[in-house]
Amino acid sequence: MRTTESEKLYRRAVEVMVEGVGSASRGPATFGDYPQYMRRGEGARLYDVDGNEYIDWMLAFGALPLGHAHPKIVEVIGREIANGTHFATALEVEVEVAELLTKLLPHAEKVRFANTGTEAAMACIRLARGLTGRRKIVKFEGHYHGWYDAVLVNTNPQLPAALGHRFDPVRIADSSGLTVESWRDTVVVPWNDLEAFERAMDAHGRDAALVVTEGVMANMGVIPPKPGFLKKVQEIARAQGALFYLDETVTGFRVAAGGCAELYGLKPDIVSYGKALGQGFPVAAITGSKAVMEGFEWGKVLHYGTHNSGRLALYAAKTMLEEMLKDDKAGFRRLADLGQKMAGRIGKILAGNNRHPATVQSVTSMFQIFFTEKESIDSYRDFCSHVDRRKFRDFVRLLHRRGIFMSPSNTLHSLSCVAHTDRDIDLTADAIGDALEELR
């Protein structure tokens, strides 16, 4: 596979852009010497500037449940862009999308729209502090809630010795430019460790405004919660007077129509959504009960934004929801079926491979491969200690050469979209088998 045009573009890009890309996850730190520059997408396919075709399992980091250039999305956005891009006024379509969400999600009595998952998380944390009068927040190791200073700790892989004891994790800032004050009130707890969580809440629960968690740890591949873990977290948070905040930026409209709240039988106080909600457009949503969401009223807890409720993004969100909910939520069933089929095929290939010990972990439409001797990766500490991320990166680069597009970062994951087919799964499985044979 030739990528000479991508290489040329990269040489131009590094002269005028930081790392030659708009985000570090798209650059050479992840993709090697230079990334592929994509020109167009259609269905489950991406096409780069050299004309190479890829089966896309990255899907804009999970933002495309309908796949690329879905005909209905193209039709609606083509129609609406002719009526204007953005008004920064009240809109009929925002009412319609909010009605869809409150009908679909039992915990969502009121909705506030934002632009990104990071912004939504910032607003949720401020809301919880405003409602409770408390300052501390409790988060889990390895969980990513955007690049807001207060939660930008313990989200990147670290040397195991740096993590500290599980009952008193060392808080590790993930960026320069963070002040100690910004995360002084952030309590970090190991994921899937109920004893450690109970100890932390005994010590800090009375001062905690909220406990925030992903439904599935999606910033370390795919690490599901242990059975009953999230329900217990919800119960303990409430017992201490802290709000239970479920961050569904990644899992919302992906793992089920009602996300992890539906999948694991949760009743969160606050939930935020992003990625898949906008079908490729930047939009996020904050939802919760009336009692919680009314904290935003009249700017009591401030959340403004010129680009809140972007009309094109909301038309995309409305169309995505309508398409996925057709025929009694058939789109969501298809996502899960395709994701589980792909994960199942990968599992069989890995089981028959003696050269590279590995496992695949999945939750409905999400899946990830870990090169490890362990049977499963259950926590951030497992990931830091037992996963060969370099081998995974080399493996995915071999897949790229075979026309399979996944993220080379083992901290991310792959996903299905409704445009994938059984033939795509067959082709991907063949490529995985060949890549494992070539992998050193």
How much of the chain, in percent, has pLDDT values that exceed 90?
Answer: 97
Nearest to 320 by CA among 152, 133, 101, 173: 101
Is 168 annotated in the active site?
no
3.60.21.10, 3.90.1150.10, 2.40.420.20, 3.30.70.260: CATH of 4-70+328-438: 3.90.1150.10
DSSP 340-393: HHHHHHHHHHHHT-SSS-EEEEEETTEEEEEE-SSS---SHHHHHHH--HHHHH
pLDDT per position as a tens digit, 100-113? 999 999 999 999 99
- The domain ranges of the chain are 4-70+328-438, 71-322
Share of the chain above pLDDT 70, in %: 100
Average pLDDT value for residue range 71-82: 98
34 is catalytic: no
Output the pTM of the full model.
0.96
Q: Which of 56, 247, 269, 378 is catalytic?
A: 247
What is the CATH T-level fold of the domain 71-322, as seen in this structure? Aspartate Aminotransferase; domain 2 (3.40.640)
Query: For helices 311-351 and 422-438, what crossing angle results, to 10°?
Result: 50
Catalytic residue (one of 34, 37, 144, 315): 144
Average pLDDT over residues 168-176: 95
Pair of tokens at residue 326 = 């057709």
pLDDT of residue 366: 98
Segment 48-57 mean pLDDT: 98
For the chain, the average pLDDT equals: 97
Q: What are phi and psi of 55, to 5 degrees?
A: -80, 120
127 to 17, 340, 396, 423: CA distances (angstroms) = 36, 37, 41, 47
Q: Is 181 helix (H, G, I), strand (E, B) or coil?
A: helix
pLDDT computed for residue 440 by the predictor:
85
Per-residue confidence band for 409, with pLDDT thresholds at 50, 70 and 90: very high
Return the minimum-mean-pLDDT range out of 55-59, 158-162, 192-196, 422-426: 158-162
pLDDT of residue 314: 98
- Sign for the CA dihedral angle at 74, 75, 80, 82 comes to positive
CA angle 128, 131, 136 (to 5 degrees): 45
Q: What does the alpha-carbon distance between residue 76 and residue 91 come to, in Å, rounded to a whole number?
A: 16
- Partners of residue 186 on adjacent β-strands: 137
Active site residue 328: no
Interval 136-162: pLDDT, tens: 999 999 999 999 999 999 999 999 999
CA distances from 224 to 69, 70, 138, 248, 422 (A): 31, 30, 19, 13, 25
Between 25-29, 177-181, 230-234, 414-418, the lowest mean confidence (pLDDT) is in: 25-29
Q: What is the pLDDT of residue 354?
A: 87
Q: Identify the burial level of 221 via C-beta atoms within 10 angstroms of its C-beta, where 0-12 means exposed, 13-18 middle and 19 or more buried.
A: buried
198-255 pLDDT, tens digit per residue, is 999 999 999 999 999 999 999 999 999 999 999 999 999 999 999 999 999 999 999 9
pLDDT at residue number 363: 98
From CA 333, how far away is CA 324, in angstroms rounded?
A: 9
Catalytically annotated residue among 110, 136, 139, 275:
275
pLDDT tens for residues 352-362?
Answer: 998 999 999 99
What would the mean pLDDT of 5-10 be, rounded to a whole number? Answer: 96
Question: Mean of the pLDDT values across residues 74-82?
Answer: 98
Give residue 1's pLDDT. Answer: 81
